[in-house]
Chains A and B, each alone.
Chain A
């Protein structure tokens, strides 16, 4: 059941990914990008990585995609240059070919995992609480990285205010 849902979300995500490339206006492309993020969240949740999937929604859809829309609307519709038909076609064909190869490779890896003794690991993986694992790794051995992230966010905040403040 989960495998089928993964494929449904994956195909929808691929379809909207092509839509990002072929969208007529920048706004269409940005909305397709939001769809890609939502579908990938579905894929991640089906694979059992629910925390990362939901963070994808919270951060990318809630903030980054909205910023993309802001940028497109700030720059203005006319100035967003899109490639010609030939460029689009090449991009679509290239991405389908690459994705086909990726899917085959990852299927191989998945079969290896399922046949070997890694099956037990996968069973364990199903009962894993990803939020807990993430927190225990983040706040014990990697606590200095968390503090560094805090400094980075502070720098980003001050930099944005300095650049964007009305003079």
Chain B
């Protein structure tokens, strides 16, 4: 897996940079701890509600559709690499696979699920 060596170097460098920034700011900065500094600040008031909002269920729908097309794309990578050697049946099967998902896309647009 020599192709991934440069990726490893990038990972190591990014981890190092993150560590350096954290450790330097931890060691060098002057710290005066005070309780008020840690409390939430919202225009001078205490926070009215939890900062984590509840989502509409439609965001979840978008996420789910994203997963499905993500999976479809992950089938396309090996297909694109081996398109020369899989023969007619493989290509016809893959076209069928894509047509099925195209049916889904047409359905989504028909019922306007993403409006």
Binding site for B on A (CB under 8 A): 2, 5, 27, 45-46, 48, 50-51, 55, 58-59, 62-64, 66-67, 70-71, 73-74, 76-78, 129, 131-132, 134-136, 138-140, 143-144, 146-147, 149-151, 153-154, 156-158, 160-161, 164-166
Contact = CB atoms under 8 A, between A and B. Distances in A.
Interface residues of B, number: 49
Contacts of B58: 164, 166
B90 A74 contact: no
Interface in B42-94: 50, 52-55, 57-61, 63-68, 70-75, 77-79, 81-82, 85-87, 89-91, 93-94
B8 interface: yes
Interface of B: 1, 4, 8, 50, 52-55, 57-61, 63-68, 70-75, 77-79, 81-82, 85-87, 89-91, 93-94, 96-98, 100-101, 103-104, 107-108, 111, 113
Q: Chain B at the A interface: mostly helix, strand, loop or mixed?
A: helix
